Structure 1
Amino acid sequence: MEGAKAGGVVKHILLAKFKDEIPQYQIDQLIQGYAKLVHLIEPMKAFHWGKDVSIENLHQGFTHVFESTFESVEGIAAYISHPAHVEFANIFLGFLEKVLVVDYKPMPVQL
């Protein structure tokens, strides 16, 4: 993974499908809990989320996207092992039917 240890922004993308029986109010509470991590874990610099709105129907059942921004790959490692993340993930993952996580370093377009 070229440049993975180098500094620079890293995006942590989590695609999720909540279990069908999870009520909306509980999904809302889980999203709020996820969003609070940005205030508890220093390497986590930003958090955004949204629901799938694509008309292409290629979502493979994933309904929610969560994007966290870190200043380095090492920042993601610190986040993953942070007690607040571990506690939240142990709860959050139990409500999901499907999950996919990808970390990447945004690259400029070379024209």
Structure 2
Amino acid sequence: MIRHILFITFTDSALPEHILAVRSAFLQVSDRIEGITGVEWGVNDSPEEKNAGFTHCVLMTFADEAARQRYLPHPVHDDLKTIFRPILREIVVLDYTVIP
């Protein structure tokens, strides 16, 4: 199992409806690409103030490496990037394999 984590900051011009569209697109990915077993979306609410300016997070779970490799070049991923990139200020992507 592989976790795919995105830490996100949106542009100042990103409207709430644009962010909602990105959220909706992310949450539909698991229904559209085989091997993605879950997608979570969250908004930072930590009182620790150690988020380095990142305001949103996406956590995706891939069943295995084959699922991750299907996702990266998939047209659904490309469609997601089309609506995501215009309002994206900064992103950190971190993947890790879950070790039981």
The structure with the greater share of residues assigned to strand is 2
Partner of 2:86: 94
Partner of 1:71: 63
CA RMSD of superposed structures (Å): 1.2
Partner of 2:51: 59
Q: Distance in 2 between matches of 1:97 and 1:35?
A: 20
Partner of 1:44: 36
Match of 2:93, as an amino acid? Answer: V
Partner of 1:5: none
Normalising by the residue count of structure 1, what TM-score does the alignment of the two structures yield? 0.83
> How big is the shift at 1:60?
0.9
- Which 5+ residue runs of structure 1 have no aligned equivalent? 1-8
Aligned residue pairs total 100
> How big is the shift at 1:37?
1.1
Match of 2:2, as an amino acid? Answer: V
Identity %: 29
Normalising by the residue count of structure 2, what TM-score does the alignment of the two structures yield? 0.92
- Which 5+ residue runs of structure 2 have no aligned equivalent? none
- Structure 1 segments, 4+ long, off by >4 Å, are none
> How big is the shift at 1:12?
0.5
Q: Deviations over 1:39-83 (max 9, x none)?
A: 111121111111111111111111001011111122111101111
